[in-house]
Amino acid sequence: EDELKIVIVCDMWLTGFDVPCLHTMYIDKPMSGHNLMQAIARVNRVFKDKPGGLIVDYIGIADNLRSALAQYTPSDRKTTGIDPQVAIDLMLEKYEQIQGTLHGLDYSSYISGSASERMACIVSGVDFVLGKPEDEKKEFLNLVVEIGKAYALCSTSEQAQAINVEISYFKAIKSGIIKILPKDKQKKTKDQIEYEIGQLVSKSVISEEVVDIFASVGLNKPDISILSDEFLEEVKGLPQKNLALELLRRLLDGKIKSIAKKNVVQAKKFSEMLEASVIQYEKRSLETVEVIKALVDMAKDMNELHKRGEKLGLSDDELAFYDAISSNESARDFYENDVLKQIAKELTISIKNNIKVDWDVRESVRAQMRITVKRLLRKYKYPPDKQATAVDLIIEQAEKMCESELDK
Global confidence as pTM: 0.52
91/61: higher pLDDT: 91
Please report, for residues 45, 171, 343, 404, the alpha-carbon distance to residue 355 in angstroms, rounded to integers and kept in the order given. 50, 49, 18, 11
Rounded CA-CA distance 95/93 in Å is 5
Q: Which of 110-114, 250-254, 303-307, 381-385 has the lowest mean pLDDT?
A: 381-385
Q: Kindly report, residue by residue over 248-305, the tens digit of the pLDDT.
A: 777 788 778 878 878 888 888 888 888 888 787 777 666 777 777 788 888 888 877 7
The whole-number pLDDT of residue 143 equals 93
Q: Does the pLDDT value for residue 92 go beyond 90?
A: yes
pLDDT, mean of residues 52-61: 83
SS3 label, residue 57: strand
Q: Kindly report, residue by residue over 118-133, the tens digit of the pLDDT.
A: 888 888 898 899 888 8
3-state DSSP percent of the chain in helix, strand and coil, to 5: 70, 0, 30
Q: Please report the DSSP string for 247-260 in residue order.
A: HHHHHHHHHHHHHH
Local confidence band at 215 (pLDDT 50, 70, 90 cut-offs): low
Closest CA to 256 of 212, 312, 305, 208: 305
Backbone φ and ψ for 50, nearest 5 degrees, come out as: -95, 105
The whole-number pLDDT of residue 141 equals 92
Q: Is there a contact between 27 and 59 (Cβ–Cβ < 8 Å)?
A: yes
Q: List residues bridging with 55 in a β-sheet.
A: 25
Q: Kindly report, residue by residue over 221-250, the tens digit of the pLDDT.
A: 444 444 666 767 776 777 777 777 777 777
Q: Does the pLDDT value for residue 53 go beyond 90?
A: no
Rounded CA-CA distance 208/172 in Å is 11
Q: Please report the DSSP string for 175-201 in residue order.
A: HHHHHHS-GGG-PPPHHHHHHHHHHHH
